[in-house]
Amino acid sequence: MKRSIIALGIGLCTASIGHAQQELTADSCRKLALEHNKELSIAKEKIEAARNERKAALTNYLPSLTATGSYMHNQKETVLLSHEQKHNLSTLGTTLAGRLGQMAHDPRLKGILMKHPELMPLLGPAQQLIAGALAPELNQLGASIVEDSRTDTRNIYAGVLTLTQPIYMGGKIRAYNKITRYAEALAHEQQKADMAEVILSTDQAYWQVISLSNKKKLAEDYYKLLQKLEQDVTHLVAEGVATKADLLSVKVKVNEAEMNLAKVEDGLSLSRMLLCQLCGISLDSQIRLADENMEDIRLSSFDTEINVQTALANRSELKSLSLATQIYKQKVNIARSEHLPSLALVGNYIVSNPSVFNGFQNKFDGMWNLGVMLKVPLWHWGQGYYKVRAAKAEARIADLRLSGARDKIELQVAQSASKVKEANKRLVLALKNMERAEENLRYANLGFQEGMITTSNVLEAQTAWLSAHSSKIDAQIEVKLTDVYLQKVLGVL
């Protein structure tokens, strides 16, 4: 009854652990890595930024409206009349009365009165009227004119509303719009290149875990073989058939196998953590890979000539360099536009306080105007010529980089295809070598049981068996990785 309960408990624990483990395939690891990679998130934001830059560039074709306001406080106000003019206006009536009084003694006036004595009685009342009634009113009128002439420009408020419609800017706006479109396409291509790098890194980590997982099983099997051999040699030493030196040799191999197993387990743990980090899951997550029990890998075959054309058509690096070349060509147009005439339609509405449209008045008043603005560069000592030449040199550099990248990609394709073929050959040879090593170990074990083969021969056969199986695992992983790298080189990853 107790044994049944213990067995049931062990079964439930095993089931719960198996349920807690997350099984991942190569495709699911790729998907998780693409979803959680920070560099790809940055690439998405770069695409969004480039898209908004393109939209912003389109607005340069449309009219722009700007408002400008200002306030200024002056120590002194603007004065239209001098102090002497102000005094003369303020005493206008008094001055006129004085002038009339002086005219009474003028000989010319006396001559007129002698000819027309009937005017004599009017002279006195006229002088009294001017001196008593008109003089104060004229003085007040002059004073009011002086007061009204004040500008009160110590506090000045001004505002301008400007509407500008570009008509011809030397091709700058059109070139800038093309640049932003190319920049957005370039951001997309860079994201594709980053995705290929993430997939390659994830596959490398995935197959590294597969490799170490299989090598752990191999190390465990090798350790069991050595333990079995240690037990057999111990019995033979007890029977006097084998020496203690043989037993010590086996024990040394057992210790080495135990140390190698510990190293493989540590490496496997670190590789799983790296894969978890790439996939964006917790580092202590219990994951199990679908290919850990992998036995055989299908060989690959590629047509190098076709692959070169595929790579030239699909590689994001080439597309990015091609877009960069187009951007530099448009920069040539921008450099040229700086020294071409520019034409724009301009409209303004100007408002100010004090207002000057009806004398100086302390109130807001304004006016609108409409015109055309033409800017023609005349002479800058060849500055535009040199800038255009510099931009053309940068465009030629971009062309050379594109050409050089094509040559390098052709070489990469040839090298990658050659590596795939070499990996396939090594895998075939490793499989044959493994079969021979297993047969050799079988004969060594039989010979040792019959007493015809020494312990050292068995150890050599076991070491050869371990090496053959390890080479087979390495060859299988190399086939997968060279295949993935070739896909990346071809631009189809």
- Angle between helices 455-490 and 304-314 in degrees, nearest 10: 50
Sheet holding 64-73, edge to edge: 64-73, 155-168, 342-353, 365-375
- For the cut 80, the answer to whether the pLDDT of residue 233 exceeds it is yes
- For the cut 80, the answer to whether the pLDDT of residue 299 exceeds it is no
pLDDT, tens digit, for every residue of 82-141? 778 777 777 766 776 666 665 555 565 556 656 666 655 655 565 555 555 666 777 777
* DSSP structure class, residue 75: S
pLDDT, tens digit, for every residue of 419-448? 988 999 999 999 999 999 999 999 999 998
34: its two tokens: 């693409």
Residue 150 or 477, more confident: 477
The type of residue at 486 is L
- How many C-beta neighbours within 10 Å does residue 2 have? 6
Maximum Cα–Cα distance across the chain? 181
What DSSP line would sit under 173-221, residue for residue? HHHHHHHHHHHHHHHHHHHHHHHHHHHHHHHHHHHHHHHHHHHHHHHHH
Percent of all residues in the chain with a pLDDT value above 90, rounded to a whole number: 56
Strands (E), 214-341: 287-289
- How many C-beta neighbours within 10 Å does residue 207 have? 23
Tell me the pTM.
Answer: 0.77
Closest by CA to 185, choosing from 36, 326, 287, is 326
Buried b (16+ CB within 10 A) or exposed e, 298-327: eebebeeeebbebbbeebbbbbbbbbbbbb
The answer for residues whose C-beta is within 8 angstroms of residue 220's C-beta and 6 or more apart is: 261
At the topology level, CATH places domain 21-62+171-340+380-490 in Outer membrane efflux proteins (OEP) (1.20.1600)
Percent of all residues in the chain with a pLDDT value above 70, rounded to a whole number: 84
Contact (Cβ atoms closer than 8 angstroms) between residue 307 and residue 413: yes
Give the lowest-confidence range in 57-66, 177-186, 451-460.
451-460
The type of residue at 91 is T
- CATH architecture of the domain with range 66-76+153-168+341-376: Single Sheet (2.20)
Strands (E), 218-300: 287-289
pLDDT, tens digit, for every residue of 135-153? 677 777 777 777 777 777 7
The backbone torsions φ and ψ at residue 419, rounded to the nearest 5 degrees and listed phi first, read -65, -35
In this predicted structure, what is the pLDDT of residue 43? 94
Domain residue spans of the chain = 21-62+171-340+380-490, 66-76+153-168+341-376, 79-150
**What would the mean pLDDT of 67-81 be, rounded to a whole number?**
85
**What would the mean pLDDT of 57-61 be, rounded to a whole number?**
94
Residue 493 or 180, more confident: 180
pLDDT, tens digit, for every residue of 344-392? 999 999 999 888 787 777 888 899 999 999 999 998 898 889 999 999 9
Contact (Cβ atoms closer than 8 angstroms) between residue 260 and residue 462: no
